Copies of this chain bind each other. A is one copy, B any other.
């Protein structure tokens, strides 16, 4: 077992280095340093590969997997390691390293293509990435559908079958709600977020404060800026997140900050004793998104949360907000308005953005479409689901960073996470006085999530967490009910 812990120590060091390089790359690296950084990523990735695919390590893991003296937590640790190690082992080293190099350059190519709204520039690179994904599918294996192999990477056990069911349910139940809102005669604008210039310094001060207000521990974390907000954890005492500030948009920085804080609170809340066991991080993307979207939408757009702190926000932007009431402000946050950009979407149209990406990815791995067809299909689906005409590739198919990072099968976790969040909230409302917690004791909520979700890290799977927390399996009805209840109220729909 000593040997296993030594290897975990190595893996942990290489992971720290890779994460630090990535953090630097996305927040600080000057453009001309791209080559050096790419070469460093390849270098460390190769070292990581060597540790993970070392035969002695695998046999040691297999030896202790079922040994009697192995404790329960070690069993879990070995199980998780074996999953990763076996998958890594199926990828030939040269393909793995070549792919890391491809990804290193893909980001810059995507950035340029997006800036010039030209999918054709990104197409050859995307084609190569997808070719590798198809190889991965063969290496990893699957039972029912090739795309399952990728979905499983981000949310264990997630399949096309489950997602087809979920998305057809959402289509069936949410499209009518959307239609009722669109024909309700009530129009809510977001004007209070876009009136004149919102000083970046003031936004920064407020966002820095609100992260701490939610429980973010600056002693063990950093909030910084980057083009695309994200979070990453070097370990639970070294959690990094970013937001972005736009002078003409107050909403974007606040909601991004709250969203990323949700991710960070999860990582900062992993139990201390899991450090060094390979299990000291969030268990799945779905659970991660459940935390970020819970804070962003369920906490961060609730009048009870805003009432005590709205005067503080007003004091930061007296010119723009002095004549706005807290009720109007929160109502604006909850307006429903279909738009082309996923990360700016309201809660109700959001699942449809994800659905479009899911359907395209599924078709790609079913070999039903080619890469060059993606933009047309993208635009067609946006018209079909949301009635939108997509102006150009930058506001369409090129908007997200994910594909340039090789993340196929990732998008569905956003909807899954939102749905988990509703299911969790349903139980939370039973155990906690939400009026009190949201208005004056957010720590109650954090403690509750720490107890039922955060502390476990990867020592429990997503399914285990959901079952033990809520007493049932994943159930999307809570998500639909939450959206119905919330938006019926916002748009004064009769029952």
Name the distance in Å between A36's Cβ and chain B's nearest Cβ.
5
> Which of A143-151, A170-178, A213-221, A323-331 lies at the binding interface?
A213-221
Q: Within 8 Å CB of A386, what residues of B?
A: none
Q: Which residues of the other chain, B, contact A21 by a CB distance below 8 angstroms?
A: 20
- Interface pick from A24-32, A157-165, A189-197: A24-32
Instruction: List, in ascending order, chain B residues with CB within 8 A of A219's CB.
Output: 30-32
Q: Mark A1-41, 1 if CB is under 8 A from B, else 0.
A: 00000000000010011001101100011111101110110
A222 at the interface (CB under 8 A from B): yes
Q: Enumerate chain B residues within 8 angstroms of A43, measured Cβ to Cβ.
A: 13
**Which residues of B are found within 8 Å of A238, using beta-carbon distances?**
29-30, 32-33, 36-37
**Which residues of chain A from 80 to 132 have a CB within 8 Å of any chain B CB?**
none
A236 and B213 CA atoms in complex are apart in Å by: 42
CA distance A66 to B221 in the complex (A): 52
A220 CB contact (under 8 Å) in B23, B33, B40, B44: B33
Query: For the complex, what is the distance from the CA of A43 to the CA of B239, rounded to whole Å?
Result: 20
Measured in the bound complex, the distance between the Cα atoms of B36 and A221 in whole Å is 13
Query: Whole-angstrom distance from the CB of A340 to the nearest CB of chain B?
Result: 32
- Asked whether A235 is an interface residue with its Cβ less than 8 Å from the other chain, the reply is yes
The answer to whether B13 and A222 touch across the interface, beta carbons within 8 angstroms, is no
Contact with B along A231-250 (1 / 0, CB 8 A): 00011011100000000000
Report which of B31, B40, B44, B234 forms a contact with A33, defined as CB distance below 8 A.
Answer: B234
Checking B20, B30, B35, B44 against A221 with a beta-carbon cut-off of 8 angstroms, the contacting residue is B30
* CA–CA, A198 and B74, complex, Å: 57
Indicate whether A220 sits within 8 Å of B17 (C-beta atoms), given known contacts A24-B24, A201-B201, A234-B36. Answer: no
Q: Binding site of A, secondary structure by majority: helix, strand, loop or mixed? A: helix
Question: What are the residues of chain B within 8 A of A32 when measuring CB–CB?
Answer: 217, 219-220, 237-238
Q: In the complex, A458 Cα to B31 Cα: how many Å?
A: 25
Q: What residue in chain B is nearest A201 (Cβ atoms)?
A: B201
**A12 smallest CB distance to B (angstroms):** 9
Contact B30 A13 (CB under 8 A): no
**CB-defined interface of A402-438 with B at 8 Å, one 1/0 digit per residue?**
0000000000000000000000000000000000000
Chain B residues whose CB sits within 8 angstroms of the CB of A39 once the complex forms: 13
A43, chain B: closest CB distance, angstroms? 5
**Chain B residues near A24 (CB-CB < 8 A):** 20, 23-24
Bound state CA distance, A44 and B43, in angstroms? 13
Chain B contacts of A40 at CB under 8 A? 13, 16-17, 20
Please determine whether A33 and B237 come into contact, CB atoms closer than 8 angstroms: yes
Give Cα A222 to B16, complex, Å: 22
Contact between A30 and B237 (Cβ–Cβ < 8 Å)? yes
Task: Output the residue of A16, A33, A35, A224 with the most chain B CB within 10 A.
Answer: A33
Across-interface contacts of A13 in B (CB, < 8 A): 39-40, 43
CB-CB nearest in chain B for A24: B20
**Chain B nearest Cβ from A22, distance in angstroms:** 11
Query: With the chains together, A16 CA to B20 CA distance in Å?
Result: 12
Q: Given A31-B219, A221-B30, are A36 and B16 also a contact pair (CB < 8 Å)?
A: yes
Residues of B within 8 A of A221 (CB): 30
Give complex CA distance A36, B23 in Å: 16
Which residues on the B side are within 8 Å of A33 (C-beta)?
220, 234-235, 237-238
Extra 15 A-B pairs, beta carbons < 8 Å, given A20-B24, A33-B234: A13-B39, A13-B43, A17-B40, A20-B20, A23-B24, A28-B222, A29-B238, A30-B220, A30-B221, A30-B239, A31-B220, A32-B217, A32-B220, A33-B238, A36-B237
A sample of 23 inter-chain contacts (CB < 8 A) reads A16-B36, A17-B17, A17-B44, A20-B20, A20-B21, A28-B222, A29-B222, A29-B238, A30-B219, A30-B221, A30-B222, A30-B237, A30-B239, A31-B219, A32-B217, A32-B220, A32-B237, A33-B234, A33-B235, A33-B237, A33-B238, A37-B238, A201-B201
What are the nearest 7 A-B pairs in CB distance?
A33-B238, A32-B237, A32-B220, A13-B43, A32-B219, A33-B237, A31-B219
